[in-house]
Chain A
Amino acid sequence: MMYDWLYNLTGNEILAMFIVSLLPLFVFILPFALFAVLMERKVSAHMQDRLGPMRTGYHGILQTVADIFKLLQKEDLVPTATDKTLFNFAPLLVFIGSYAAFAAIPFSGFFIGSKIDLGLIFIVGVTGLVVAGILMAGWASNNKYSLLGAMRAAAQIISYEIPTLMIILMIVMLTGTLSLYDLSELQTAYFWNWLILGGPAVGLQKILLIPFMIMGCLIIYTSTLAEVNRTPFDIPEAESELVSGYHTEYSGMKFAMFFLAEYANMFAVSAIVAVLFFGGYQSPFGYLGNTLGWTWLVPIEQFFWFTSKGLFFVFVQMWLRWTLPRFRVDQLMAFCWKYLIPFSFVILLLVGLIALM
């Protein structure tokens, strides 16, 4: 694949490995994070009948670049009474937790960072580091309100991991594989082979599975929305009733790390939903490269489909943010434990029964 191609090209193992590991980070994720910030501002502006950034560059394209320059030159304030090690390390942990998940996500049939068999478990485990980072940020800030916000964030993320895992378990039961690459390869050819429409196997099982798959998709989308702290679950970060949550005391580049990590996380969970239910990088109707005979076009097309599906789900996340008000903390927990978890259990059982048929 990508690694072999690069090895053939350069003849050097280490150089090939180096490029393969850095490529998704610099070519895709960082530019994506910059693009997502601008997209959020423009989408929110047009939904609210206004224009958004218009002055930096043509229609505001260079706005995020300007923001990054601004954050780079800001003074890096570290309050004196904080726990300095934890304070400095927390943004790093949140950043690592969000970006490391991209190692196991297949960007196209040709390129995947690391083709491990336990892709899904790796992703869920690594995004759990974010909780540790948030708690460290809240505690080290030496601020009553940050601590409150951080504890709520931790409770929220931990609770919402459970429905996520239930639905992932459901997919694993049906398909028998944890690797995201194999899951994408499974949903080949046309869109009726996608898992949201029952999977590649034809028969009664496929028809019966459709309502459960749709429910499962909704549940995992909602619970991953809570994992990335987006409205309506943004108690930790938006102006809560007191102040700005766990990243109040951060300024300059550290704040930028929290910020960019949030957008990267959004894309990661959208990518996961796309891979699990919507065919990953597979195109809904065949490949132009195959019909024309140019097989080198196929990976590029696959990358295009993957990105558009990911961007579509990111757009839906932003759409939800600007439509819905915020939950209160106890209502948020009630929603998870009283609604999502029972539903996901029931779906798991029923899908298991169907899979036995």
Chain B
Amino acid sequence: MRDYIYNFWQGLYTILIGMKVTFRHLFVPAVTIQYPSVKPQLPERERNRLYVNMDDCIGCDQCARACPVNCIEIETVKSIPGEDLGTTSNGKKKALWVTTFNIDFAKCCYCQLCVFPCPTVCIYMTDVYEFSEFQRENLVFDFVTLLPEERIQKKKNFEELQVKKEAEKIAAVKKTAEEKAAALANKPPEPKQDGKEEIK
């Protein structure tokens, strides 16, 4: 019987305490931010969409190697001698033309592992998060600043250079073979050496 009355009193009492808590919360101002008319202030280290500053990119491929999901695709082409590609903002001289730099944001897991290995800090995370698309292909972002004709041009330049170098190499090999043959015909025979005393 005592338990019975105790249960009943306990039930009533705790319900009233709970009601007091909820009633007090009626007068607490709401914590909701009414997006999209009010956008929250994001902190400076926020990790949202990546951005690549192609002026600083030296084409070292470190970011593509660091990515755990392989969402960065980089293709580079060596420059022909005599071309000046400029220097990056911290003084490095660029030596490669970057012809492809695609980041597939559908795959990117926003882990920031690509930012740290970059020697010139040209890839970094911005705070842009409203970039949804209707087609999945539109999420592959191409960061290269060369025009498509220029890319083809650079590749062609390099290939031509390769062909020229191959031709030169073949010509040089031919030339040394001829020289060797000529030298062999004119050299006197060399005395044979006895190597038995040298062995210890």
Contacts and interface: CB of A to CB of B under 8 A. Distances in A.
Chain A–chain B contact at Cβ < 8 A = yes
Interface stretch (A40-48, A120-128, A274-282, A306-314): A40-48
B15 interface: yes
Interface string B18-34: 11011101101111101
A54 B21 contact: no
A324 B30 contact: no
A47 B25 contact: yes
Interface in B1-56: 8, 15, 18-19, 21-23, 25-26, 28-32, 34
Contacts of A46: 25-26, 30
A190 interface: no
Contact of A319 (B23, B30, B31): B23
A150 to B, nearest CB: 28
Contacts of A320: 15, 19
Interface string A21-51: 0000000000000000000000101111111
Q: Which of B18, B21, B23 has the most CB of A within 10 A?
A: B18
B31 A50 contact: yes
Given A323-B19, A323-B21, A323-B22, A49 B8 contact: no
A324 B17 CA distance: 11
A49 B23 contact: no
Interface size class of B (residues with CB under 8 A): 10 to 19
A339 interface: yes
Nearest to B12: A218
Given A47-B25, A47-B26, A48-B25, A323 B32 contact: no
A337 interface: no
Contacts of B32: 50-51
27 contacts: A46-B25, A46-B30, A47-B22, A47-B23, A47-B25, A47-B26, A48-B25, A49-B25, A49-B28, A49-B29, A49-B30, A49-B31, A50-B30, A50-B31, A50-B32, A51-B34, A319-B19, A319-B22, A319-B23, A320-B19, A322-B22, A323-B15, A323-B19, A323-B22, A324-B15, A324-B18, A339-B8
Q: 10 closest Cβ contacts across the A-B interface?
A: A323-B18, A51-B32, A323-B22, A51-B30, A50-B32, A47-B22, A46-B26, A47-B25, A49-B31, A50-B30
Given A47-B26, A54-B34, 14 more contacts: A46-B25, A46-B26, A46-B30, A48-B25, A49-B25, A49-B31, A319-B22, A320-B15, A322-B22, A323-B18, A323-B21, A323-B22, A324-B18, A339-B8
